[in-house]
Amino acid sequence: MTETWKDASICPHCMTEDVVVASGPKNAQVLLIGAYPDERELVTGKPFTGNGGVILKAELGRVGLDIKQFRLVYLQHHVPNKNPACSALGVELAIAELTKYRQIVLLIGSEPVKFFCKKSVDDVNGLQVHSPMITQVSLVMACVSPASVFSKSVGELRFAIKQFNKALEEGMIK
């Protein structure tokens, strides 16, 4: 993958889809991995700038965290389609973000939790999880999708963010 492609906003495989790439400080100790962009994020080109992102930012703010301090990426760089090359590139971009800087990874939503841990997010929300694919990081945690608050209560998301904040404090990352 070339820098030229990263500057462009179209997927090199399907050539039609707008893409969202990682954002936030490159050397951040914490990486948030979400599922895939919504319509607004395809316009901004940045993860967690859409409806779910607004909720997530508010919940992080409640415990004194600012999303700007974290590196952000999605498991898929555009809305999932049937092209396996698209999906492979999304995964490659997400995994590339697990660099030497990261200490804590928060997997947000059912797709990232299933992909990295082979578990249902409802079973591990707010808990530490293990992933054979994330070995270079000291702590991996799971969190429900912020969009879950539109269909059920905010309690689960709030619980996960509280546990995440506790982990940051214990890891002296906050």
Stretch in the footprint of Zn ion (CB under 5 A) among 9-17, 47-55, 96-104, 106-114: 9-17
Binding mask 43-82 for Zn ion (x = CB under 5 A): ----------------------------------------
Instruction: Please state, in angstroms and as integers, the Cα–Cα distance from residue 89 to each residue in 37, 86, 96, following that order.
Output: 15, 5, 10
The helix/strand/coil state of 71 is strand
End-to-end CA, the chain:
34
> Does the footprint of Zn ion cover residue 14 (CB under 5 A)?
yes
Among 86, 117, 144, 161, binds Zn ion (CB under 5 A): 86
CB 101 within 8 A of CB 90: no
Beta strands in 1-152 (DSSP E): 30-34, 71-74, 104-108, 139-143
Q: Give the separation between CA 152 and CA 115, rounded to whole angstroms.
A: 23
Residue 47 CB, shortest distance to Zn ion, in Å, is 16
> Does the footprint of Zn ion cover residue 13 (CB under 5 A)?
yes
> Does the footprint of Zn ion cover residue 11 (CB under 5 A)?
yes
> Does the footprint of Zn ion cover residue 93 (CB under 5 A)?
no
For binding to Zn ion (CB under 5 A), which residues are involved?
11, 13-14, 17, 86
